[in-house]
Amino acid sequence: MKDAAPKTIYLKDYTPFGYVVESVHLTFRLAPTATRVISRIAFAPNPDASDRTFFLHGEELSLIWAKIDGQDVTPDLTDEGLRCTVPDTPFVWEAEVEISPQTNTALEGLYISNGMYCTQCEAEGFRKITYYPDRPDVMSTFIVRIEGEEKVKLSNGNPAGSGEGWAEWHDPWPKPAYLFALVAGDLVNHPDSFTTMSGKQVELNIWVRPGDVDKCAFGMEALKKSMTWDEEVYGREYDLDIFNIVAVDDFNMGAMENKGLNVFNSSCVLASPETSTDMNFERIEAIIAHEYFHNWTGNRITCRDWFQLCLKEGLTVFRDAQFTADMRSEPVKRISDVIDLRARQFPEDQGPLSHPVRPESFQEINNFYTATVYEKGAEVIGMLKTLVGDDAYIRALDLYFDRHDGQACTIEDWLRVFEDATGRDLAQFKLWYSQSGTPRVAVSEDWADGVYTLTFKQHTPPTPGQDVKGPKVIPIAVGLLNPNGDEVVPTQVLEMTQAEQSFRFDGLASRPVPSILRGFSAPVVLEREVSREERAFLLAHDTDEFNRWEASRNLARDCLVTMIRDGAGPDTAWLDGLERVVRDDTLDPAFRALMLSLPTQSEMAQVLFEMGSTPDPDAIWQAAEDLRGHMAEAWRGFLPELRASVAVDAPYLPDADQSGKRSLGSALLALQTRLDDGAAAQAQYDAADNMTLQLSALSHLISAGKGDAAIKAFETQWHHDRLVMDKWFGLQVGMAKPDVAVDVAEGLVEHPAFDMGNPNRFRAVMGGFAMNHAGFHRKDGAGYAFLADWLIRLDDKNPQTTARMCSVFQTWKRYDADRQALIRTQLERIKAKPKLSRDTDEMVSRILG
Ligand code: LYS
């Protein structure tokens, strides 16, 4: 809990710890409210450090005894740890502490979820397990002994013996404490094995509660594919005899890459066609890959301090995106990632929570597991790869693994391998790590005497703590089309380094149409006056799928803006162009489905705000409704037939091909539901034999106001399955009509299955509600008050999830003065809560600005 004044930690203050840890030996005597942890840690003075203060982190621990070299000592205890006088030669520290996993509702450290012991240590949870220098630059091998009656007892590394009531594990690879994990419970496994590229046999397991073992096969396949892919693409081999994955019901995030013992939110690993959607399958595949890839990018090479978080997360997101693109469709993955980046990272980067990819200060590091660190961090690596080229990228990565294996590194180390591998100076590129904010790139063009010139001007608006920013290196991928739609200049990457810069193209027969920022080659906002005709031309002819999609997206935005602001009708020329794409059966159905997805209401609010108008959530909602209604009417003649043409009549597979068809089918069904009062959706619901079809039908029925029967039937069918019920909770409030969304949310929290202690359930309702843009922003402020009530309630139990959920208020300055005042009242009410957690306090303070 918060001290008098929250402490800010700065990157510039980094100093190494005064001691190295040579080995760690831990014994756990498990008991729900009185687990004993006995530690024996060999320390030696660190020759690279000057400060010899011996401070060990420790929070919420009861110290039973402590010894140095076998002699009892009495350390000075504070709320944050202990200090002790120690010899100036190597010594052995021993201690016994007591902790209470049963009452640990923060889900950080050692806790109990559904009767099973598990841990979450990243970033700073290990200090809730025992006294330790809990910082990523302190690495050691670990021996762990677990004593308890639980059938299964797991920790990191390789098994090193077990007997009646005990098991021992030995992790030979030095690691920081944040990668420590322990799991114990009556679990069952889905086993398999993998032979690595050098012929080593690795035992693989997914551990779950009894009853879930039939939902592991897909995750296991994903794991084996990830292991093969990392060998083939990055030359990285697995390094232990065993790899365990455990599914846990109560978990604050998606998953965690603990060495040899990945712990997953059960929603991110358990899958079956009946209970999981295509999107769930794709996400599970990606998260399993992400955590597995961390074994090299994160574990073998870790971070020196938490400011370097993007070193492992940005890189690992980049790697898992490459993996998904290889397993599925590259353009579809790219477009989906950009949709996500704009929905989550852009608002963060352009609002009060804006921070650099490598932050320079924090109060609570858990608040920096953000879209900026992860997703913009990955974009930065994508740009680096674009700038140096594919071969040099691989050379740099090989050098990174050779040079830094076993080390705790920085962004400087990372950039230096690229400099050394390529001879390039990356000083200016490094601004991507230190400058916050989304750059805006204005484009103008000139055509004279057969020479076509593109001029770019870059500018990054001020963000908290950073008023003025210098120009960055921006790779801008450009292709040129002639007026017939033929590509006359294939994609080339223009390297922008100055505030303003021009690029010439000679020898063209006619004035070209440019396709700029192909593949979204940099995370910037492009500013260019483009006529509807030119966008429609690109929609029809661009060879770059991303920009083809982008052209339509921009037309959709323009169309919605004129509908909202000027009360105009829809842009029928765009809809004709869109119709041609949607009906073009030579195109991937998944791509066509993305073409049909309209900008979200929140995105439209941002668009309007940037144009200088105050967004009215109700008007935005109405315009989106009108547009969809118009599309349905205009396409009435071919909707059922087109939908039938993409129906899958083979047994269910969650692969790219089938899921693309279902996704297009669902987008078409959404429109059809507007014409037939839900008849087709109800028919799909009744016939569905997989969750994708069942849930898409349910969502269309709810948004048409015809969902009551299906909502009841769904509950009756699935009340026993917590992950499916999360969908049920989320969908009802997410798809509710705006005027009733608050009432729906209020009803759901009264449901006996609502459990605020379970992050998945809490997020299903509160996250689903906040996604209901017009419902959440209801004019009278009832939505804001409802959410604030629940954040205040959750804060005592689970600060991490509370703080994260506060970010739904980050865009508050977009809205009108009345709404801003209502939101401010709620933020101040949260801030005034007695004993507010450090996590929530930091978030609310930053949002208030
Ligand atoms: N490292 C984890 C990941 O794979 C997340 C840990 C979050 C800790 N608060 O992204």
**CA–centroid distance, residue 375 to ligand 1 (Å):** 13
**Phi, psi of 798, deg, nearest 5:** -140, 85
Here the CATH number for the domain that contains residue 73 is 2.60.40.1730
Shortest-distance Cα residue to atom 1 of ligand 1: 256
Shortest-distance Cα residue to atom 3 of ligand 1: 256
Cβ of 369 less than 6 Å from ligand 1:
yes
- Residue 432 region, left (φ>0) first, then alpha (ψ -120 to 50), else beta? alpha
Shortest-distance Cα residue to atom 4 of ligand 1: 256
d(CA 178, CA 125): 7
Nearest alpha-carbon partner for 44 in 164, 140, 170, 156: 140
pLDDT (tens digit, 9 = 90+) per residue, 137-153? Answer: 999 999 999 999 999 99
3-state SS class at 707:
coil
Cβ of 255 less than 6 Å from ligand 1:
yes
Q: Which atom of ligand 1 is nearest to the CA of 253?
A: 7
Bridge partner list, 460: none
**59, 285, 291, 550: which is the annotated catalytic residue?**
291
Q: Which atom of ligand 1 is nearest to the CA of 108?
A: 9
- The tokens of 399 are what? 């050098």
**CA–centroid distance, residue 362 to ligand 1 (Å):** 17
Average pLDDT over residues 26-44: 99
pLDDT score at 6: 83
Mutate to test the pocket of ligand 1, among 107, 108, 122, 310 (most ligand atoms within 8 A of CB): 122
Cβ of 318 less than 6 Å from ligand 1:
no
pLDDT at 443 over 70: yes
Cβ of 551 less than 6 Å from ligand 1:
no
Burial 285-315 (b: 16+ CB within 10 A, else e): bbbbbbbbbbbbbbbbbbbbbbbbbbbbbbb
Mutate to test the pocket of ligand 1, among 226, 253, 283 (most ligand atoms within 8 A of CB): 253
Confidence of residue 5 (pLDDT cuts 50, 70, 90): confident
Average pLDDT over residues 146-173: 98
Q: Which atom of ligand 1 is nearest to the CA of 312?
A: 1
d(CA 800, CA 703): 32
Query: Would you call 291 a catalytic residue per the annotation?
Result: yes
**Phi, psi of 118, deg, nearest 5:** -155, 170
Centre a 10 Å sphere on the Cβ of residue 409 and count the other Cβ atoms it contains. 21
Query: What single DSSP character describes residue 519?
Result: G
**Phi, psi of 153, deg, nearest 5:** -135, 115
Asked if 177 and 132 count as a contact pair (C-beta separation under 8 A), the reply is yes
Amino acid at position 562, single letter: T
**CA–centroid distance, residue 317 to ligand 1 (Å):** 11
**CA–centroid distance, residue 309 to ligand 1 (Å):** 10
Q: Which atom of ligand 1 is nearest to the CA of 291?
A: 4
Rg (CA), the chain: 27
Asked if 182 and 171 count as a contact pair (C-beta separation under 8 A), the reply is no
Inside any domain, residue 443: no
Here the CATH number for the domain that contains residue 725 is 1.25.50.10
What is the reported pTM? Answer: 0.98
Inside any domain, residue 297: no
Cβ of 320 less than 6 Å from ligand 1:
no
Average pLDDT over residues 835-843: 98
Q: Which atom of ligand 1 is nearest to the CA of 298?
A: 1
pLDDT (tens digit, 9 = 90+) per residue, 475-496? Answer: 999 999 999 999 999 999 999 9
pLDDT at 2 over 90: no
3-state SS class at 104:
coil
Q: Of the candidates 127, 153, 186, which is a domain's last residue?
A: 186
Nearest alpha-carbon partner for 526 in 569, 564, 477, 486: 477
d(CA 804, CA 369): 9
**CA–centroid distance, residue 254 to ligand 1 (Å):** 7
Query: What single DSSP character describes residue 470?
Result: -
Cβ of 257 less than 6 Å from ligand 1:
yes
Q: Which atom of ligand 1 is nearest to the CA of 374?
A: 10
Nearest alpha-carbon partner for 392 in 369, 436, 365, 424: 424
**CA–centroid distance, residue 725 to ligand 1 (Å):** 25
d(CA 215, CA 207): 11
pLDDT (tens digit, 9 = 90+) per residue, 738-773? Answer: 999 999 999 999 999 999 999 999 999 999 999 999
**CA–centroid distance, residue 230 to ligand 1 (Å):** 20
Inside any domain, residue 26: yes
Distance of CA 44 to the CA centre of its chain: 39
Cβ of 123 less than 6 Å from ligand 1:
yes
d(CA 660, CA 331): 13
pLDDT (tens digit, 9 = 90+) per residue, 451-483? Answer: 999 999 999 999 999 999 999 999 999 999 999
Q: Which atom of ligand 1 is nearest to the CA of 800?
A: 9
Cite the beta strand spans of 54-122 per DSSP E: 55-57, 62-68, 71-72, 76-77, 81-83, 91-99, 109-113, 116-120
Inside any domain, residue 59: yes
Taking the CA atoms of residue 61, residue 65, residue 69 and residue 74 in that order, the dihedral angle to the nearest 10 degrees is: 90
Q: Which atom of ligand 1 is nearest to the CA of 122?
A: 8
d(CA 157, CA 173): 8
Shortest-distance Cα residue to atom 9 of ligand 1: 366
**CA–centroid distance, residue 256 to ligand 1 (Å):** 5
Confidence of residue 4 (pLDDT cuts 50, 70, 90): low
**CA–centroid distance, residue 841 to ligand 1 (Å):** 21
**CA–centroid distance, residue 366 to ligand 1 (Å):** 9
**CA–centroid distance, residue 525 to ligand 1 (Å):** 28
**The total number of structural domains that make up the chain:** 2
Terminal C-alpha separation, the chain: 22
Average pLDDT over residues 14-34: 98
Q: Of the candidates 186, 211, 232, which is a domain's last residue?
A: 186
Cβ of 253 less than 6 Å from ligand 1:
yes
Q: Which atom of ligand 1 is nearest to the CA of 366?
A: 9
d(CA 290, CA 295): 9
Cβ of 122 less than 6 Å from ligand 1:
yes
pLDDT at 399 over 90: yes
Average pLDDT over residues 433-446: 98
Shortest-distance Cα residue to atom 2 of ligand 1: 256
**CA–centroid distance, residue 121 to ligand 1 (Å):** 9
Query: What single DSSP character describes residue 738?
Result: G
d(CA 203, CA 190): 11
Look up the domain containing 633 and give its range.
603-848
Burial 103-120 (b: 16+ CB within 10 A, else e): ebbbbbbbbbbeebbbbb
Helix, strand, coil percentages in the chain from 3-state DSSP, rounded to 5? 45, 20, 35
Mean pLDDT computed over every residue of the chain: 98
Alpha helix (H) residue ranges in 428-585: 431-434, 532-541, 545-566, 572-583
Centre a 10 Å sphere on the Cβ of residue 651 and count the other Cβ atoms it contains. 9
**CA–centroid distance, residue 546 to ligand 1 (Å):** 29
The sign of the torsion formed by the CA atoms of 194, 200, 201, 206 equals negative
DSSP secondary structure string, 774-796?
Answer: HHHT-TTSHHHHHHHHHHHHHHT
3-state SS class at 187:
coil
CA angle 821, 822, 828 (to 5 degrees): 85
Average pLDDT over residues 249-271: 98
d(CA 820, CA 446): 43
Inside any domain, residue 377: no
d(CA 39, CA 82): 15
Centre a 10 Å sphere on the Cβ of residue 681 and count the other Cβ atoms it contains. 27
pLDDT at 623 over 50: yes
What is the percent of the chain where pLDDT is above 90?
99
DSSP secondary structure string, 412-467?
Answer: HHHHHHHHHHH----TTTTHHHH--S--EEEEEEEEETTEEEEEEEEE---BTTB-
Cβ of 375 less than 6 Å from ligand 1:
no
Mutate to test the pocket of ligand 1, among 111, 268, 284, 369 (most ligand atoms within 8 A of CB): 369
- The tokens of 758 are what? 């379970």
d(CA 271, CA 283): 10
Q: Which atom of ligand 1 is nearest to the CA of 365?
A: 9
Inside any domain, residue 662: yes
Shortest-distance Cα residue to atom 5 of ligand 1: 256
**CA–centroid distance, residue 255 to ligand 1 (Å):** 6
**Phi, psi of 82, deg, nearest 5:** -140, 155
pLDDT at 1 over 60: no
pLDDT score at 405: 98
Cite the beta strand spans of 570-614 per DSSP E: none
Inside any domain, residue 655: yes
Cβ of 354 less than 6 Å from ligand 1:
no
Inside any domain, residue 3: yes
Q: Of the candidates 149, 166, 186, which is a domain's last residue?
A: 186
Average pLDDT over residues 61-70: 98
Q: Which atom of ligand 1 is nearest to the CA of 287?
A: 4
Taking the CA atoms of residue 327, residue 331, residue 335 and residue 338 in that order, the dihedral angle to the nearest 10 degrees is: 80
- The tokens of 491 are what? 């994609």
Mutate to test the pocket of ligand 1, among 257, 288, 296, 365 (most ligand atoms within 8 A of CB): 257
d(CA 251, CA 266): 8
- The tokens of 396 are what? 């740099």
Average pLDDT over residues 119-131: 98
Shortest-distance Cα residue to atom 7 of ligand 1: 122
